[in-house]
Amino acid sequence: MSAATTLPVYKKKDFQSDQDVRWCPGCGDYAILSAVQSVFPELGIPKEKFVVVSGIGCSSRFPYYMNTFGFHTIHGRAPAIATGIKLARPDLDVWVATGDGDALSIGGNHTIHMLRRNVGIKVLLFNNRIYGLTKGQYSPTSELGKKAKSTPYGSVDRPFNPAVLAVGAEATFVARSVDVFQPHLRATLKKAAAHQGSAFVEILQNCNIFNDGAWENLTHKDMRDDHTIALEHGQPLVFGKNRDKGIRLEGLDLEVVELGDGVSEDDLLVHDEHHESPCYAFALAHMDRRPGFPTPIGVLRAVDAPRYEDLTAGQIEQATAKKGPGSLADLLRAGDVWQVS
């Protein structure tokens, strides 16, 4: 068969399964599903090569709605199951849909280990800062003091910042987008799709039932420009409704500065998503923990590193090239043998 077999031209509806979508009306997950179904046809990948794997939670119903190969697994384990798939079949395009509880609480261990190994898997972490499917307990990303079903007096847990965690595991691709920023989300998903290695995308998502307005200060049209900063590779870090604020390097730390009055864009930090050191991406990812700093969205980090599945397959190839394909008869007779007649 010719390798030049032309790829069918896909449309969004080709990636829509025949299953009724059963998220709550108004859920941010609809927007994420729509963005993914819009992006997949544009990736130049045969539909049968996509595998969408999920754990447990609202977000993890995702595979049922994608007309691809899909595997709804067990709580927290999607990265590990996806790792097995990718090791067995590196040619498949494996995506994990997960949530803040699934990926960072019960499955935190698998998440960090998948990232540090740099397995070629795209992870979409739907972060709504709440447990939705179990009806409203606080999550590992819920803010300190969060009053939820299991924390009537407020949460005393210090939350995870998912991007900080991913950078801490030295993930090779870390990005953040928002459910309602559709063009930004689609562009971010495309960049993740193009990345060779683990691509970690935190998607800030609203749960209108149990945590409505979770990200309102970032999404409300009156507030978003002052509270977010859209990262663009090679561009200075400017934000604000009037593009009048920026991020400047001060010693080893970052500071927010007002533009004008002797401070120009030339003084600002210029975003370099390929910065080798994870410290830079860490500083960016950590900004939203600090009063007065904006929440960065876009690609925080994108660096090249060998993929786990390639290294694994490479060892098999090298061993086979060196020793020749294994002979079972020889293997069974290896070492000291003796004859009984």
With vertex at residue 79, the alpha carbon angle to CA 74 and CA 81, rounded to the nearest 5 degrees, is 65
Subset of residues 111 to 150 that bind other proteins, contact rule: CB under 8 A: 113
Scan residues 15-74 and list those touching other proteins (CB under 8 A): 17, 19, 46-49, 51, 53, 63-64, 66-74
Asked if 306 interacts with other proteins (CB under 8 A), we say no
Q: In whole angstroms, how close is the CB of 151 to other proteins at the nearest point?
A: 26
Residue 328 touching other proteins (CB under 8 A): yes
Q: Check residue 323 for interaction with other proteins (CB under 8 A).
A: yes
Q: Alpha helix locations (H) across 41-77?
A: 62-65
Contact between 4 and other proteins by CB under 8 A: the answer reads no
Contact 284, 231 (CB under 8 A): yes
Nearer to other proteins, 45 or 249 (CB): 45
Inter-CA distances, 15 with 50, 70, 96, 336, Å? 10, 12, 16, 58
Pattern 234-273, binding to other proteins, x per CB under 8 A?
Answer: ----------------------------------------
Closest distance to other proteins from the beta carbon of 152 (Å): 30
Q: What are phi and psi of 175, to 5 degrees?
A: -140, 165
Q: Are 254 and 248 in contact (CB under 8 A)?
A: yes
Q: Is 88 in the site for other proteins (CB under 8 A)?
A: yes
Which stretch, 129-137, 213-221, 298-306, 312-320, contacts other proteins (CB under 8 A)? 312-320
Binding status of residue 84 toward other proteins by CB under 8 A: yes
**Are 72 and 60 a contacting pair, CB within 8 Å?**
yes
| Interface with other proteins (CB under 8 A), residue from 11, 109, 220, 276 | 109
Q: Is 75 exposed, middle or buried (0-12, 13-18, 19+ CB in 10 A)?
A: middle
Q: Which residue blocks in 125-180 are alpha helix, DSSP H?
A: 162-168
Instruction: Give the whole-angstrom CA distance, residue 253 versus residue 266.
Output: 18
Residue closer to other proteins, measured from CB, 50 or 282: 50
One of 23, 33, 102, 110 touching other proteins (CB under 8 A): 110
Q: Angle formed by the axes of helices 78-88 and 308-323, to 10°?
A: 30
| By CB under 8 A, residue 87 contacts other proteins | yes
DSSP-assigned letter for residue 109: H
Q: Using CA atoms, how far apart are residues 104 and 166, in angstroms rounded to an integer?
A: 10
The yes or no reply on residue 326 touching other proteins (CB under 8 A) is yes
The residues that touch other proteins, with contacts defined as CB under 8 A, are 17, 19, 46-49, 51, 53, 63-64, 66-74, 77, 80-89, 91-92, 109-110, 113, 312, 315-316, 319-320, 322-326, 328-329, 331-341
